Chain A
Amino acid sequence: MEKLNYNIDDIITRHLLGEASSEEQNLLLSWLKDDMQNQHYFFRMKEVWMASQSKNKSETSASWDNLKVRMEKNKNIELNTATTKTYTKLFRYAAFIAVLTCIGFFAYRYSSKIFNRKTEITFTEIKTSDGQKKEIGLPDGTKVWVNSGTSLKYSSDFGQVSREISLQGEAYFDVKRDTSKMFIVRAENITIKVLGTSFNVKCYPELKTIETTVISGTVSLESTEKAEGKDIVILNKKEKATFLKNQQKMYITKNQKDDQKSTVEPIELKKLAISDEESDYIASWKDQSLSFNNESFEEMAFKLQKWYNVKIIIKDDKLKNYRYKGKFDNIKSIFEVLQVIKLTTPISYEYNEKAKEIIIKQAKE
């Protein structure tokens, strides 16, 4: 070899451009064979190169027209062959039926159970009432923590064809990895697809938003309103997607800390354990702790309603501007929580035991 001095990036570029000499191609080949690292480097480059190619020339409509014609054609062929083969088929059926009759006779004794076995699909529903929480295992080994007032449904063939589940309410999923079967959560207007990660979904019909937070791994999210699938969002670890139902829009919050939605500084609920990571907060309910991270009074009240199975009525709109941050561990009664809130916010409350209603007002200062 004479030329030991060559720049591999130049050669890669020329190769991608289709302008490499055969000598350069030989160099590239031996460089690639040299080391797997080199292959990673090169194929990543190539992947980028291929992906960056102009517009997608899929010519979808023309291709469809063509396909439709071919579908019709094949249908006719199918019909023709079907008639010519009818006689041989008939004979085969006759023989087959004779055999079946014999089998049928013997099977009769054992039969009722076998033949009555239903193949129709049934659904399993897991429900929690307000104030109740559950930890369950799905047939595929996925663990799910189901929060209060939630319904989870999956069909009897879960895990065989796909892993699909529908959710109303809040649940934390720790998905068992299976690259051959996607784990799919349908939550109202959005569909969440993963291979194996843990994430939290909050999707109560009463709320205006659907929130998805990824604790580990990656998930793909799409809004089901658009058939074209343009609205796919990829969420990574410690990212949160908030879907606004009325606007059909998705917002992403990266790595928490500065939550752009907040207009008011969150009020810290003091004397309580406070963690830095919002992701810890979001999934914390599954470990029996109630937490708020920069949440409005309304959001907080909603959580409390679900948690303690009471109705909360906020009388003064002004209260709705307050935001809260903090974590409660093992608190038995809602009044303990209200007492802590009272430390920082001028509120007073009344409890109507019959109606299980708490009315919160702004206290006079």
Chain B
Amino acid sequence: MQNLDDKRLLEEFRNNNLEAFEQFFKANQPSLVAYANKFLNDWEASRDIVQEVFLSLWENKDKNSINTSLRAYLFTSVRNQCVNTIKHKIVVQKHSDSTLAQLRELELNYYGSENETHLRLFENEIGKKIEETISDLPEQCRITFELSRFEGLKSQEIAKKMEVSVRTVETQIYRALKVLKESLKDYLTFF
């Protein structure tokens, strides 16, 4: 079932070829979920949205409404869903916390101008690069970053664990971010 191009894939879907759809799902779902999570910062919600998008692809496979590549279609759909979700959140937040809502609004406007086809180019490469960069960080910096990012510890907890000040933890994390930003600069597509 490999090497099928989009047109043939769609044909397979139309013939109710579940195996083809499964393969297609498994090949594309991870990068789509990662993409959604960039907007939502919520893995569960991201998985749900991606599942929803695949379901609607399956249900609308007989209609000829897809006029880009399948992947482009999926990314655009996921992104639209995310934007809707965020918009909804903004409405909810406005009542409770206007500062956060405004930050989100800014973010939405900012990402709204981003080109998803461009982003898509880099989806698969970026993970490897991040891993490499993190493993190359100075030890203290790396451990601090990993504790925060991967173990989900709060700055205070990390400070206690490593016997340094909270301020040091923040500085280390910022440092790691700077290095990452530099090493990923070719992948960051906003101008």
Q: Using a CB–CB distance below 8 Å, which chain A residues touch chain B?
A: 9-10, 12-14, 16-17, 19, 22, 25-26, 28-29, 32-33, 39-40, 43-54, 56-61, 63-64, 66-68, 70-71, 74, 160-162, 164, 179-182, 184, 186, 193, 195, 218, 220, 224-225, 227-230, 232-234, 236
Residues of B within 8 A of A39 (CB): 106, 110
- Interface secondary structure of B, over-half rule: helix
B72 within 8 Å of A (CB atoms)? yes
Tell me if A220 and B5 are in contact (CB < 8 A): no
Most interface-central of B50, B117, B145 (chain A CB within 10 A): B117
B141 within 8 Å of A (CB atoms)? no
Residues of A within 8 A of B25 (CB): 60, 64, 67
Complex formed: what's the CA distance from A306 to B143 in Å? 57
Residues of A within 8 A of B23 (CB): 227
**Min distance, Cβ B168 to any Cβ of chain A, angstroms:** 12
B93 within 8 Å of A (CB atoms)? no
Tell me if B127 and A28 are in contact (CB < 8 A): no
Instruction: Scan B77-99; emit 1 where CB is below 8 A from any A CB, else 0.
Output: 00000000000000000000101
Tell me if A45 and B190 are in contact (CB < 8 A): no
Q: Using a CB–CB distance below 8 Å, which chain B residues touch chain A?
A: 2-3, 5-7, 18, 22-23, 25-31, 33-34, 37-38, 41, 43, 47, 50-51, 54-55, 58-59, 66-69, 72, 97, 99-100, 102-103, 106-107, 110-111, 115, 117-118, 121-122, 124-127, 130, 134, 145, 148-150, 154-155, 170, 173-174, 177, 180-181, 184, 186, 188, 190-191
Tell me if A236 and B68 are in contact (CB < 8 A): no
Residues of B within 8 A of A66 (CB): 51
Complex formed: what's the CA distance from A1 to B174 in Å? 26
Tell me if A9 and B174 are in contact (CB < 8 A): yes
**Min distance, Cβ A229 to any Cβ of chain B, angstroms:** 5
Tell me if B121 and A220 are in contact (CB < 8 A): yes
Complex formed: what's the CA distance from A100 to B25 in Å? 41
Q: A14-B170, A67-B25, A161-B67 are in contact. List 4 more A-B contacts (CB 8 A).
A: A44-B181, A52-B149, A74-B55, A182-B69
Closest B residue, CB atoms, query A49: B177
Closest B residue, CB atoms, query A9: B174
Closest A residue, CB atoms, query B118: A195
Known: A52-B180, A64-B25, A182-B69. A70 touches B55 (CB 8 A): yes
Residues of A within 8 A of B38 (CB): 47, 50-51
**Min distance, Cβ B105 to any Cβ of chain A, angstroms:** 10
Q: Can you spell out 21 A-B residue pairs with CB atoms less than 8 angstroms apart? A: A13-B177, A14-B155, A19-B155, A32-B106, A33-B106, A44-B181, A45-B181, A47-B38, A51-B180, A52-B130, A52-B149, A56-B30, A58-B43, A59-B47, A66-B51, A161-B69, A162-B6, A182-B117, A186-B5, A195-B118, A218-B121
Tell me if A40 and B190 are in contact (CB < 8 A): yes
Select which of B29, B55, B130 is within 8 A of A58 by beta carbon: B29
Residues of A within 8 A of B130 (CB): 51-52
Residues of A within 8 A of B27 (CB): 227-229
Select which of B59, B72, B173 is within 8 A of A182 by beta carbon: B72
Closest A residue, CB atoms, query B172: A13
Known: A58-B30, A64-B26, A218-B121. A181 touches B134 (CB 8 A): no
Tell me if A57 and B190 are in contact (CB < 8 A): no
Tell me if A54 and B149 are in contact (CB < 8 A): yes
Complex formed: what's the CA distance from A53 to B25 in Å? 23
Residues of A within 8 A of B134 (CB): 52
Complex formed: what's the CA distance from A160 to B37 in Å? 31
Residues of A within 8 A of B28 (CB): 229
Tell me if A25 and B99 are in contact (CB < 8 A): yes
Closest 7 CB pairs of A and B: A58-B33, A58-B30, A57-B43, A54-B150, A220-B121, A13-B174, A50-B38
